[in-house]
Amino acid sequence: MSASDGIRKARRLQSDGDVDFIPAGCWGWWRDEGPSSLIALTLCPSVISSAASTMARPIRSVRLSPRLGFRDDRLAALARLTPKDDDPASWPFVDALATAVAIQLIIHAEAPSAPSTPTRLKPLGQRRLKAVLAHMDARLDQPLSLDGLAEVVGLKRSQFAAAFRLATGQSPTQYLIRRRVEVAAQLLQSGPVSISEVAFQTGFAHQSHLSRAMRRHVGLSPAALIRASDSASAGRSDETIKLALRSA
């Protein structure tokens, strides 16, 4: 039988390779009802911190919780590699082994332990949608991350992405690229300006980046759009250009 913080006492049949994990600061309780053997490993908190750093994880984001009787062949294999004596010559190997164990524990902590109850997703409300669209328009020339956009409306990244798609029919990234192409097209048609300057003003990495996006969404290269605009200024209809932009 065993129990720990947040885990009720339970009777279970142990098998070779079962793993119990109790984080620092938590309690654990076991009672064996027959002969058994185990390998007990104790990790210093600094080992967890070092492993998190190796994985480029902020230590404050690592949330380790008690787990009893779970299976992990990699953890079991690492435990069996532990030297049975305290020979100083083996200490570097033990340090590496401890880091490997800590990394595997962090991987377990990041994996969902059970499916969460699904919640009904709702589209982003008009007030929030207007706020995030205005934020995008005001910063088209800047890098915009999904986390930063979600923060504008006070939602988590995943919630924001789903709610935005329900409200607009596009992902935030898809909308942002289309909006940048639309503004770039307007700038190119509005007067003499270099394609590279327009690319810079609308957040594209370089002229070629803008050209690829414009061909994909408008069907014309920036240079072709400028030529079409010049022709329209000379007296021809510009309906073709407008239709192309609407269909992007």
Tens of pLDDT along the chain (248 residues)?
A: 666 666 766 666 666 778 888 887 777 777 777 677 778 888 888 888 888 887 877 777 777 888 887 788 888 888 888 887 777 777 788 888 888 888 888 887 776 554 444 456 789 999 999 999 999 999 999 999 999 999 999 998 888 999 999 999 999 999 999 999 999 999 998 878 899 999 999 999 899 999 999 998 888 889 988 888 777 666 554 444 443 443 33
Q: How many CB atoms lie within 10 A of CB 199?
A: 24
Question: Could you tell me the domains of the chain?
Answer: 2-110 (no CATH), 126-246 (1.10.10.60)
Element (DSSP H or E) covering residue 18: strand 18-21
pLDDT at 232: 65
pLDDT at 102: 86
pLDDT at 175: 94
- Whose tokens are 């956009």? That residue is 149
User: Is the CB of residue 75 less than 8 Å from the CB of residue 19?
Assistant: yes
pLDDT at 5: 60
pLDDT at 111: 67
Residues in the chain: 248
The greatest distance separating any two alpha carbons of the chain, rounded to the nearest whole angstrom, comes to: 95
| Residue 218 DSSP code | T
- Whose tokens are 């069996």? That residue is 80
Tokens of 21: 């994990």
Residues near 105 by beta carbon (within 8 Å), at least 6 away in sequence: 21, 48, 51, 64, 75
User: Is the CB of residue 181 less than 8 Å from the CB of residue 217?
Assistant: yes
pLDDT at 139: 94
pLDDT at 9: 61
Task: HSE, CB side, 13 Å, CA atoms: give it for residue 27.
Answer: 6
Q: How many CB atoms lie within 10 A of CB 75?
A: 20
C-alpha separations of 10 from 4, 35, 69, 150 in Å:
10, 18, 10, 42
How far apart are alpha carbons 206 and 195 in whole angstroms?
A: 9
Phi, psi dihedrals of residue 58, rounded to the nearest 5°: -60, 130
Q: Alpha helix (H) ranges present in 111-144?
A: 126-138
| Residue 185 DSSP code | H
